[in-house]
C-alpha cells in the first residue's frame, strides 16, 4: 500500500512531496470493476457437498411407502391423525410428481371428503371456453368471464365466486403481474427470423442441455418490492422504501443446463475525494465523464472472467456462448475474444427471450 503526503505551500495550494497540485493527481480506478458473487469452481464445490438424490431411487422409496400404507389400511388400521409417512407420500405425488390432490391422497391413504358433493355444473366445455376467452382477453375480470359464459351457454346462472374457483383450480389460470411485450416481438418479420434461426441450428452439434452457456444481465435497486399488497378497501396500499431515488446495480450471469458458470455484480462508481490538510476535501478531477449504466466495457470484462473460469474445465472447450443481440453484446471485440479462446459466440434473433433459459428465471 502506498501513502501520499500533501502539504500547504504557504500560497494556499495543496501539493505533494514533488510539488504537484493535489487536483492534478489521478487515482488508478478501474471504470469497469465487477465484484464476484459466484464462480463455477465455487458452485461445484458447494453442489458436491449436498448431492441430489436420484429420482429413480426416490420414486422407489415413495412407492414402497405407499404400499406399506395400503397394507396397514387393509388390516383395518384407520387414521384420524396422519403420520409423517402419509404426509411425505402425499407431498411427493402432489407437489413433486404434480398429481392432482385426490389421486395423491389415495396414494397416501388419506381420505378425501366426497360427502354431499354437488354435481359439478361447470364441465369441460365451460373450461375450454374460459381458456380461449382469457387467451383472447388476458386482462378480463371474473365478472367478464361470467358474462361471457352467460351469453354463450343457455340457462347458465353461476356467480363470480364459483366461476373464480373453477378458473383457478380447473383451468389453472392465475392473476399475475403483466409482462409487456412490444408489438414487433411477434411480427411476421421477427417470427420468420426466429424460425430461420431454429431451423439453422437444430441440425448442428449445438445442444442446449450439453454444450451451451447462456449469458444475460439484469438490474435491481433497494426500492424493488412485490407489485401487489393488501390494504383496507378504498385505501391505497402503501409500502415504505428507504428513498424515492435509488442507485441501480446490475447482475451479470452465465449458466449452463447443469452449472452456474459465473455471477458478477456491477456497482456504480462512487465519487472519489482526497483528504487534505485542514479536513478540506476536493473532488478528484474527472478526465472523462463515466457511464452510469452497464456498457460494453463491463460486458467484455465479464465475458473474459467467465471464459477464465471455463478454461479450468477442459470438457467445456468449444462450448457455445449464447447471448441476445443487445448493443453491448454484439461488439466485434467480444466475438473475437470468445473465438480466440476456443469457444463459439452465438447471438439470438431479436425479441427471443424464450430461446435464452437464463431470461426465464
* Same-domain check for residues 313 and 275: yes
- The closest alpha carbon to 256, from 220, 297, 215, belongs to 215
* Same-domain check for residues 219 and 344: yes
* Same-domain check for residues 162 and 305: no
Look up the CATH number of the domain holding residue 314.
Answer: 3.30.420.10
DSSP string for 184-237: GGG-HHHHHHHHHHHHHHTTSS--TTTSEEEEEEEEE-TT---S-----TTS--
Is the per-residue pLDDT at 43 higher than 80? yes
* Same-domain check for residues 93 and 128: no
> Considering the domain boundaries, does residue 309 fall inside one?
yes
The total of structural domains in the chain comes to 3
* Same-domain check for residues 226 and 342: yes
Task: Give the side-chain half-sphere CA count within 13 A for 159.
Answer: 1
Cα 337–Cα 195–Cα 179 angle in degrees, nearest 5: 85
What DSSP state is assigned to residue 95?
Answer: I
Domain boundaries, position 61: 55-107
Average pLDDT rounded to a whole number, residues 326-345 = 92
* Same-domain check for residues 84 and 132: no
**Tally of CB atoms within 10 A around 280:** 12
* Same-domain check for residues 271 and 223: yes
With bands split at pLDDT 50, 70 and 90, how would you rate the model's confidence at 116? very low
* Same-domain check for residues 309 and 209: yes
pLDDT digits (tens, 9 = 90+) for 235-244: 888 888 877 7
Q: What distance in Å separates the CA atoms of residue 262 and residue 311, rounded to the nearest whole number? A: 12
Under 8 Å between Cβ of 210 and 257: yes
pLDDT digits (tens, 9 = 90+) for 268-306: 666 555 444 444 445 545 545 555 567 888 899 999 999
Residues β-bridged to residue 15: 7, 21
Question: How much is the pLDDT for 224?
Answer: 82
Amino acid at each position: 500500500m502506498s501513502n501520499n503526503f500533501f502539504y500547504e505551500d504557504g500560497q494556499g495550494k495543496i501539493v505533494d512531496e514533488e510539488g504537484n497540485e493535489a487536483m492534478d493527481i489521478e487515482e488508478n480506478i478501474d471504470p469497469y470493476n465487477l465484484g464476484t458473487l459466484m464462480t463455477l469452481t465455487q458452485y461445484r464445490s458447494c453442489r458436491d457437498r449436498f448431492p441430489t438424490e436420484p429420482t429413480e431411487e426416490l420414486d422407489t422409496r415413495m412407492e414402497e411407502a405407499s404400499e406399506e400404507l395400503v397394507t396397514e389400511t387393509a388390516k383395518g388400521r384407520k387414521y384420524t391423525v396422519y403420520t409423517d409417512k402419509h404426509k411425505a407420500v402425499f407431498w411427493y405425488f402432489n407437489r413433486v410428481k404434480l398429481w392432482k390432490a385426490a389421486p395423491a391422497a389415495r396414494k397416501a391413504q388419506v381420505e378425501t371428503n366426497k360427502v354431499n358433493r354437488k354435481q359439478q355444473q361447470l364441465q369441460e366445455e365451460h373450461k375450454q371456453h374460459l381458456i380461449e376467452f382469457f387467451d383472447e382477453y388476458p386482462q378480463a375480470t371474473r365478472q367478464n368471464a361470467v358474462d361471457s359464459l352467460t351469453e354463450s351457454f343457455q340457462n347458465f346462472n353461476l356467480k363470480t365466486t364459483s366461476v373464480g374457483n373453477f378458473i383457478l383450480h380447473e383451468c389453472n389460470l392465475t392473476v399475475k403481474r403483466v409482462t409487456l411485450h412490444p408489438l414487433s416481438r411477434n411480427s411476421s418479420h421477427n417470427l420468420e427470423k426466429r424460425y430461420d434461426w431454429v431451423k439453422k441450428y437444430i441440425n448442428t452439434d449445438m445442444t442446449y442441455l450439453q454444450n451451451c452457456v447462456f449469458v444475460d444481465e439484469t438490474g435491481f435497486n433497494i426500492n424493488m418490492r412485490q407489485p401487489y399488497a393488501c390494504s383496507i378497501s378504498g385505501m391505497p396500499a402503501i409500502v415504505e422504501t428507504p428513498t424515492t431515488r435509488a442507485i441501480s446495480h446490475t447482475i451479470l450471469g452465465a449458466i449452463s443446463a447443469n452449472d452456474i458458470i459465473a455471477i458478477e455484480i456491477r456497482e456504480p462508481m462512487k465519487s472519489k475525494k482526497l483528504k487534505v490538510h485542514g479536513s478540506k476535501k476536493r473532488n478528484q478531477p474527472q478526465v472523462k465523464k463515466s457511464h452510469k449504466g452497464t456498457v460494453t466495457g463491463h460486458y467484455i470484462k465479464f465475458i473474459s472472467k467467465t471464459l477464465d473460469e471455463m478454461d479450468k474445465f477442459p470438457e467445456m472447450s468449444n462450448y457455445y456462448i449464447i447471448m441476445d443481440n443487445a448493443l453491448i453484446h454484439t461488439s466485434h471485440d467480444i466475438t473475437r475474444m470468445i473465438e480466440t479462446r476456443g469457444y463459439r459466440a452465438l447471438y439470438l434473433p431479436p425479441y427471443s427471450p424464450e430461446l435464452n433459459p437464463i431470461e426465464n428465471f
